[in-house]
């Protein structure tokens, strides 16, 4: 009984974590699902958002302004990846890796060379939006839920507009999009920029939640984001094509990810193994559709016929 109560006690914290990472995963969804690009910039831009927010906040800037700057910094990072990809023809995945590496230096510069910029709770408790404290956890959850809802609503509107639809078309079928007069380079750059802006915003929230910006905080972020997307897609009934609901499912996926994560930690798995576990889980889920299709498909012949 005691154990179960203890375990339940870890869940609100996990929900808080999950919502922040849910926001990050929603940003990633734009590149990974909508544009069909694997963008590794996010590992850097989440930290950029955290660093910009923490540095500005600790030098006396208003939290809202600090978060806006974090968002813009993330968008700039996405813009660089977009340029490398479209203007210089570097494959998206490599362009992302290059920007990520650049961001490592940028992030250190932003943090004036130190690996960590603390946002001490005693000093900044009334200046931050959310805190790292357990006592405020329900308040934190509500604020984060509002954040996620607002971003989802904004994205739902955006992807319903002419320009938003051209982004979706680009990810779906670039040849067709160009034939219909869509500048696919522009839509890709914009999508990457938007995505990294949201990821950096999540980074800014993460810094407040953890009570610090830290140079390594983005490592493996894409894997957590992908895990959230995959769980979210599994959550979402296939028939639901509503974009807003799909995005909310992704946020739900992130929360489930952190529930599982907390539970595994609670059960005593050494924390060194956690990243290994995340990566393996994502690898499994990414691999399952292929394995199913390649090794267990009886309908192979009819499939071929249908596409002929």
The stretch near other proteins (CB under 8 A) out of 4-12, 68-76, 112-120, 152-160 is 152-160
Smallest gap from residue 216 Cβ to other proteins (A): 36
Cα 22 from Cα 27, distance rounded (Å): 9
Q: Does residue 62 touch other proteins according to CB under 8 A? A: no
Query: Would you say 190 or 261 has its CB closer to other proteins?
Result: 190
Query: Would you say 33 or 139 has its CB closer to other proteins?
Result: 33
Identify the H or E element spanning 192: helix 184-210
SS (H, E, C) 15-69: HHHHHHHHHHHHHHHHHHHHCCCCCCCHHHHHHHHHHHHHHHHHCCCCHHHHHHH
Q: Does residue 302 touch other proteins according to CB under 8 A? A: no
Cα 262 from Cα 181, distance rounded (Å): 48
Q: Does residue 182 touch other proteins according to CB under 8 A? A: yes
Joined tokens for residue 38: 């694997």
Contact 225, 21 (CB under 8 A): yes
Give strand pairing partners of 116.
214
> Which of 10, 183, 210, 263 touches other proteins (CB under 8 A)?
183
Number of residues that bind other proteins (CB under 8 A): 25
Query: Would you say 38 or 274 has its CB closer to other proteins?
Result: 38
The stretch near other proteins (CB under 8 A) out of 16-24, 61-69, 142-150, 159-167 is 159-167
Q: Does residue 241 touch other proteins according to CB under 8 A? A: yes
Query: Would you say 138 or 157 has its CB closer to other proteins?
Result: 157
Distances (CA, A) of 179 to 166, 173, 206: 12, 10, 42
Specify the 3-state DSSP secondary structure of 212.
strand
Whose structure tokens read 């208003």?
62
Query: Would you say 7 or 163 has its CB closer to other proteins?
Result: 163
Q: Does residue 181 touch other proteins according to CB under 8 A? A: yes
SS (H, E, C) 220-289: CHHHHHHHHHHHHHHHCCCCCCCHHHHHHHHHHHHHHHHHHHHHHHHCCCCHHHHHHHHHHHHHHHHHHH
Query: Would you say 164 or 191 has its CB closer to other proteins?
Result: 164
Number of Cβ within a 10 Å radius of residue 130: 22
Which DSSP symbol is given to 214?
E
Q: Does residue 89 touch other proteins according to CB under 8 A? A: no
Query: Would you say 41 or 184 has its CB closer to other proteins?
Result: 184
Q: Which residues contact 35 (CB under 8 A, 6 or more apart)?
A: 167, 170, 171, 187, 188, 191, 192, 195
Task: Pick the closest to residue 203 from 222, 184, 187, 186 (CA basis).
Answer: 222
* Segment 161 to 180, residues that bind other proteins, using CB under 8 A: 161-166, 168-169, 172-173, 175-180
Smallest gap from residue 65 Cβ to other proteins (A): 25
The stretch near other proteins (CB under 8 A) out of 115-123, 156-164, 193-201, 219-227 is 156-164
The stretch near other proteins (CB under 8 A) out of 12-20, 52-60, 108-116, 153-161 is 153-161
Q: Does residue 308 touch other proteins according to CB under 8 A? A: yes
* Site map 250..289 versus other proteins, x via CB under 8 A: ----------------------------------------
- Binding interface with other proteins (CB under 8 A): 157-158, 160-166, 168-169, 172-173, 175-184, 241, 308
């Amino acid at each position: 009984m005691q154990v179960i109560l203890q375990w339940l006690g870890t869940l609100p914290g996990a929900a808080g974590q999950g919502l922040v990472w849910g926001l990050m995963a929603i940003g990633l969804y734009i590149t990974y699902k909508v544009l069909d690009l694997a963008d590794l910039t996010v590992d850097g831009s989440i930290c950029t958002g955290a660093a910009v927010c923490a540095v500005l906040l600790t030098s006396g800037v208003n939290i809202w302004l600090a978060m806006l700057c974090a968002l813009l910094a993330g968008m700039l990072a996405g813009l660089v990846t977009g340029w490398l990809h479209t203007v210089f023809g570097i494959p998206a995945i490599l362009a992302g890796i290059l920007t990520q590496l650049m961001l490592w230096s940028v992030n250190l510069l932003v943090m004036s060379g130190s690996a960590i910029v603390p946002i001490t709770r005693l000093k900044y408790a009334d200046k931050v939006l959310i805190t790292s404290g357990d006592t405020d956890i329900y308040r934190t959850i509500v604020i984060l839920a509002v954040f996620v809802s607002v971003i989802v609503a904004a994205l739902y509107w955006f992807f319903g507009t002419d320009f938003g639809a051209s982004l979706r078309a680009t990810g779906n079928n670039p040849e067709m999009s160009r034939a219909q007069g869509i500048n696919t380079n522009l839509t890709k750059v914009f999508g990457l920029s938007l995505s990294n802006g949201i990821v950096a915003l999540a980074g800014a929230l993460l810094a407040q939640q953890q009570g610090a910006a830290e140079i390594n905080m983005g490592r493996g972020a894409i894997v957590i984001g992908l895990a959230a997307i995959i769980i979210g897609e599994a959550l979402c009934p296939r028939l639901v094509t509503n974009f807003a609901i799909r995005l909310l499912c992704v946020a739900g996926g992130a929360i489930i990810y952190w529930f599982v994560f907390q539970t595994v930690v609670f059960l005593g798995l050494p924390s060194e193994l956690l990243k290994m576990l995340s990566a393996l889980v994502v690898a499994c889920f990414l691999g399952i559709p292929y394995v199913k299709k390649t090794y267990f498909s009886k309908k192979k012949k009819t499939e071929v016929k249908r596409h002929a």
